[in-house]
Structure 1
Amino acid sequence: MRQIVLDTETTGLETAQGHRIIEIGCVELVNRKLTGRHYHQYINPEREVDSGAMEVHGITNEMLADKPVFAQVVEEFLAFIEGAELVIHNAPFDIGFIDHELKQWNTRYGSIAKRCGVVDSLVLARTKHPGQKNNLDALCKRYGVDNTQRELHGALLDAEILADVYLLMTGGQTALSLGGQSSKEGGASSGTERRPLANDRPPLPVIEASEEEFAAHRAKLEAIEKAAGQVLWRD
């Protein structure tokens, strides 16, 4: 399974106000493993960056002046994500901006939903941790992901951090395999197969409790009996 963890930075919060994408960052997962492949691009939005947005990501108008416009990078970007499942934190925001850019430059591109599946990691986090903070910083703290470099938002850095968080958040046991053995069909062992012990195996050791351990056990039972009444398993 191929997944792309994606993040964007923008000039502001609303496409209806003419705001545009200024940075795209993506990292690739195949079968839940980071491959080392990534896509990263700064984009000239052909408009000013709002001061409030600049405080969040630190990307200035001067930094973007010599960068390509979206139309110059769209084919490479779409080729990178084509057919993958996108993992995005607060997906409607990023997908809304990407679809807005695609529609603005050429209607033949269609929407991202026609090219990729989408997993919203924010919705997933809210399901797993209801009533708690589920922004990326809070999830990093909850799952022990190092985000000390994240003084400002950045699309590629945030995508890399989100990839770690997503893998930890969804990394529960997916199959039961006793002793690491697989069935002949390639699936997990059902645990019903008989595996005889080797005839030459050494006998299992018998370890008896010490007198101190017996005394501690008796004292514990006496305390339970005093507090709760009769104890059925007295020695």
Structure 2
Amino acid sequence: MSEGTGIALDFETSGYAADSACAVGMARLEEGRVADRFYALIRPPSSFIRFTDVHGLTWPMLRDAPTFAQLWPRLAAFMQGAAWFVAHNASFDRRVLIACCRAAGIAELRLPFYCTLKGSRRSLPLPSHRLSSVCAHFQIPLQHHHAGSDAEACAEIYLRLRALGVTPAQMKA
């Protein structure tokens, strides 16, 4: 399973706008294992935090966090050398990444995205393919809606799906 370095990515958002990221989690996949982890809060563009009931983040927790643009050098350093991204429901995380980069004036990353939601639907006969359900199936620990935990869980799901024979092409987002 040598497909180069990948980044499992998860965002939490403060509102419906795609550029409203308020937390990011990443897990770096190298040589078939999670090699490193990254988590940070992000100061969203608005002080109105709509989804506190989902992720538990509030404006007092986020107001002193770096903006996406300020955080970018650390994100870019963590992603250095990556050949692809993977996310559970990749269309959401890709949309957030693109919107945040665009809002910050950062060139869009042109790496392929793979989706563990798509891969799990293809290969696991579960009544639900939500991240929490797939984690329960594989007995992967999860603190759901914590971006760091979600990203690491996605990385582990990706590795389990690959071990079951699901190819990156079958998870292409």
Shift of 1:130: 6.1
Percent of pairs identical after alignment? 27
CA distance in structure 2 between the aligned counterparts of 1:156 and 1:173, rounded to whole angstroms: 26
> Structure 2 length normalisation: TM-score?
0.84
Cα deviation per residue 1:203-230 (whole Å; 9 max; x = unaligned)?
xxxxxxxxxxxxxxxxxxxxxxxxxxxx
Checking the alignment, whether the CA contact within 8 Å between 1:71 and 1:105 is kept in structure 2 is: yes
Higher relative contact order (CA 8 A, sep 6+): 2
Name the counterpart of 2:22. 22
* 3-state SS, counterpart of residue 170 of structure 1: helix
* 3-state SS, counterpart of residue 34 of structure 1: strand
Q: Which has the larger radius of gyration?
A: 1
Structure 2 stretches of 5 or more lacking a match? 167-173
Residue 161 of structure 2, aligned match among 157, 164, 169: 169
Please tell me whether residue 34 in structure 1 is matched to residue 34 in structure 2.
yes
RMSD: 2.0
CA distance in structure 1 between the aligned counterparts of 2:13 and 2:48, rounded to whole angstroms: 8
Aligned residue type for 2:148: L
Name the counterpart of 1:63. 61
> Structure 1 length normalisation: TM-score?
0.63
Name the counterpart of 2:170. none
Name the counterpart of 2:171. none
Checking the alignment, whether the CA contact within 8 Å between 2:47 and 2:63 is kept in structure 1 is: no
Shift of 1:122: 1.0
Structure 1 stretches of 5 or more lacking a match? 175-235
Checking the alignment, whether the CA contact within 8 Å between 1:143 and 1:169 is kept in structure 2 is: no
Checking the alignment, whether the CA contact within 8 Å between 1:10 and 1:23 is kept in structure 2 is: yes
* Counterparts of residues 94-133 of structure 1 (less than 5 Å): 94-106=93-105, 109-112=106-109, 114=110, 116-129=111-124, 132-133=127-128
* Counterparts of residues 180-191 of structure 1 (less than 5 Å): none
* 3-state SS, counterpart of residue 163 of structure 2: coil
Aligned residue-pair number: 162
Name the counterpart of 1:46. 45
Shift of 1:141: 1.8
CA distance in structure 1 between the aligned counterparts of 2:77 and 2:113, rounded to whole angstroms: 16
Checking the alignment, whether the CA contact within 8 Å between 1:42 and 1:67 is kept in structure 2 is: yes
Please tell me whether residue 143 in structure 1 is matched to residue 135 in structure 2.
no
Checking the alignment, whether the CA contact within 8 Å between 2:23 and 2:42 is kept in structure 1 is: yes
Shift of 1:143: 1.6
